[in-house]
Amino acid sequence: ARVTLEGHADERGTREYNLGLGERRGNAVSGILSAGGARGSQLNTVSYGEERPTCRV
């Protein structure tokens, strides 16, 4: 099985900062899953920054 981890951020900060933040968040979850036994080849991380919010406020 393969899992895609999506990193998101809100509109605070620059676009570049938010893309980096989303990537760091996704990588943090990837690290936790890897520590629990998931193989790196099963995990894909993508950052959407503020571009695709999971909810609108």
Distance, in Å, from the CA atom of 29 to the CA atom of 5, rounded to the nearest integer, reads 8
In this prediction the pTM is: 0.82
Q: So what's the pLDDT on residue 56? A: 65
Q: Is 39 exposed, middle or buried (0-12, 13-18, 19+ CB in 10 A)?
A: exposed
Name the class of domain 3-49: alpha beta
Give 4-35 pLDDT, tens digit per residue: 999 999 889 999 999 999 999 999 999 999 99
Other CB atoms closer than 10 Å to residue 37's CB: what's the count? 7
List the domain boundaries for the chain: 3-49
